[in-house]
Amino acid sequence: MRLSRYFLPVLKENPAEAKIVSHSYMLRAGMIKQASAGIYSWLPLGLKVLRNIERIVNEEQIRAGHIPVLMPTVQSADLWRESGRFDVFGAEMLRMSDRHGRDMLYGPTNEEQITDIIRSHVNSYKDLPLTLFQIQWKFRDEVRPRFGVMRGREFLMKDGYNFDIDYDAAIHAYNRHMVSYLRTYERMGLKAIPMRADSGPIGGEDTHEFLVLADTGESEVFYDSAILEMNLGDREVNYDSVDECAAIAKEWTTPYARTDETHDDALFNEVPAERRKTSRGIEVGQIFYFGTKYSESMGANVVTDTGERVPVHMGSHGIGVSRLLGAIIEASHDDKGIIWPEGVTPFHCGIINLKQGDDAADAACEAIYQALTDAGLEPLYDDRKERAGGKFASMDLIGLPWRITVGPRGLKNGVVELTSRKTGENLEMTLEEAVAKVIKIYAAL
Ligand code: ATP
Ligand code: MG
């Protein structure tokens, strides 16, 4: 993309309404525009990152054997009356009625809808196990929408639902989700720690939240710092293997890590003092086993191999797709702007032409642009007739991990500059070397 033809409405000033850095940078980098409280339009740069996050979430769910579906955002209240949640949900639920006076709602979540699909089409143990997921907009009329996309009213969520014949099979689905989530967050360059969480009124102890450590997080968290050293990396995982998934889940849930809701001082004190940490965290996902709560109230049964009819065991599993943009920025920025991890960056490499209109500089930039594009990468070329200072400031703000700077003086010596946004390190090398290095970095992802 050439910046002269793009839509990147960068702001120079810090927007007064932004209380945390991610919100401020998202507005300043022209990623989002508030439409009304907690509701945002996604501008081109923001949309690109949102789509990248979505793609990673989708790929990792499919890798785990889960199947994509898409359910409507507007739901009929009838299903929610069946489960008993229509009245329980309270003011967070946006209710409306259609022209016939029928009660409708904008879905805050989809357990009822998915259960309705299952009870219509799944009848036998042979149809299980089954995990369906979607990436779809949700609406929750939050009391205090704030921090930009972090706590929106309309937000994008990946929500997945597993259906299994019994408790053991459902726990395998739970562990499978845990492993797939670990991989998902790692691919985004994030350290998200699974923490034992409160299951609330539903009961049972099988729920974990995934938290990204950040001072601006809304949750108070307690953890053993040993968990920060742990990495799933690119190890091969067989998601069908009950033992393998259970072993990884155990590995990650053994070090102490809990939110304030479930924190236990006595247990925490068993962690060696120097590894005992307290911090704030941003919830970027939650997995949940809730058994037969919905299947019993809504009649989602299957026939077992002995001919008995039993309610299916279920769990639901969510990832805050749009919140992740905020969480990644909170975890990765400096005072000049965002520092995108390579896995989610909106463009792979920035190209800055220090002297637009200089024949040699223009030609070199075009060559870099072409070579990166031919390699399947998306460069962002700042080809505007602007001062170099302004170009650097915008490029730093929008946070592309790599930048190639081209100027007449360097070209005379046969070099361009390759800069890492993260370390600030500048390397002089030939144009071909710079291009090859960037291609190699992304090929390794
Ligand atoms: P919170 O405690 O932050 O209100 P929740 O526990 O109610 O979230 P879940 O039902 O677990 O949310 O939803 C799954 C994921 O969706 C959460 O882990 C979070 O990342 C994201 N999410 C929830 N509410 C919002 C919101 N208002 N804005 C953006 N993302 C959200
Ligand atoms: Mg939650």
Co-location of 369 and 220 in the same domain:
no
Q: Answer whether residue 204 shows pLDDT above 70.
A: no
In a domain, 267, yes or no: yes
User: In a 3-state reduction of DSSP, which class is residue 410?
Assistant: helix
DSSP state letter for 153: S
Convert the pLDDT of each residue in 388-445 to its tens digit: 999 999 999 999 999 999 999 999 999 999 999 999 999 999 999 999 999 999 999 8
Q: Answer whether residue 205 shows pLDDT above 60.
A: no
| DSSP calls for 34-77 | EEETTEEEE-HHHHHHHHHHHHHHHHHHHHTT-EE----SEEEH
350, two tokens = 């920035």
Say if ligand 1 is within 6 A of residue 158 CB.
no
Co-location of 32 and 59 in the same domain:
yes
List phi, psi (to 5°) of 177. Answer: -65, -40
Give the max Cα distance, the chain. Answer: 82
Q: The domain spanning residue 391 has which CATH number?
A: 3.40.50.800
% of the chain beyond a pLDDT of 90: 93
Co-location of 330 and 395 in the same domain:
no
Q: What value does the mean pLDDT of the chain take?
A: 95
What is the domain count for the chain?
A: 2
CA–CA gap between residue 198 and residue 192 (Å, rounded): 18
In a domain, 109, yes or no: yes
Q: What is the pTM of this model?
A: 0.96
Co-location of 138 and 260 in the same domain:
yes
Co-location of 143 and 219 in the same domain:
yes
Strands (E), 299-430: 301-303, 309-311, 313-320, 333-334, 337-338, 349-353, 379-382, 402-406, 416-420, 426-429
In a domain, 123, yes or no: yes
Co-location of 259 and 365 in the same domain:
no
Q: Tell which residue, 152, 149, 154, 117, has the closest CA to residue 133.
A: 117
Convert the pLDDT of each residue in 114-124 to its tens digit: 999 999 999 99
Q: Atom 8 (ligand 1): residue with closest C-alpha?
A: 283
Q: Which domain holds residue 415?
A: 349-443
Q: Answer whether residue 198 shows pLDDT above 90.
A: no
In a domain, 202, yes or no: yes
In a domain, 343, yes or no: no
Q: The domain spanning residue 139 has which CATH number?
A: 3.30.930.10
- Of 288, 313, 338, the residue that ends a domain is 338
Ligand lying nearest the CA atom of residue 283 = 1
Co-location of 254 and 363 in the same domain:
no
Return the ligand 1 atom nearest residue 157 CA.
Answer: 16
Convert the pLDDT of each residue in 346-379 to its tens digit: 999 999 999 999 999 999 999 999 999 999 999 9
Q: Atom 6 (ligand 1): residue with closest C-alpha?
A: 286
Say if ligand 1 is within 6 A of residue 183 CB.
no
Across 115-129, 287-301, 369-383, least confident range: 287-301
Co-location of 142 and 252 in the same domain:
yes
In a domain, 344, yes or no: no
In a domain, 378, yes or no: yes
Other CB atoms within 10 Å distance of the CB of residue 274: 7
Convert the pLDDT of each residue in 139-181 to its tens digit: 999 999 999 999 999 999 999 999 999 999 999 999 999 999 9
User: In a 3-state reduction of DSSP, which class is residue 241?
Assistant: coil
- Of 299, 314, 338, the residue that ends a domain is 338
Q: Which pLDDT value is given to residue 193?
A: 97
Co-location of 11 and 74 in the same domain:
yes
- Of 308, 338, 368, the residue that ends a domain is 338
Co-location of 289 and 368 in the same domain:
no
Q: Atom 10 (ligand 1): residue with closest C-alpha?
A: 318
Co-location of 33 and 163 in the same domain:
yes
Torsion of CA 83, 85, 87, 93, to 10 degrees: -140
In a domain, 226, yes or no: yes
Co-location of 222 and 354 in the same domain:
no
Q: Atom 15 (ligand 1): residue with closest C-alpha?
A: 320
C-alpha 210 to ligand 2 mean position (Å): 9
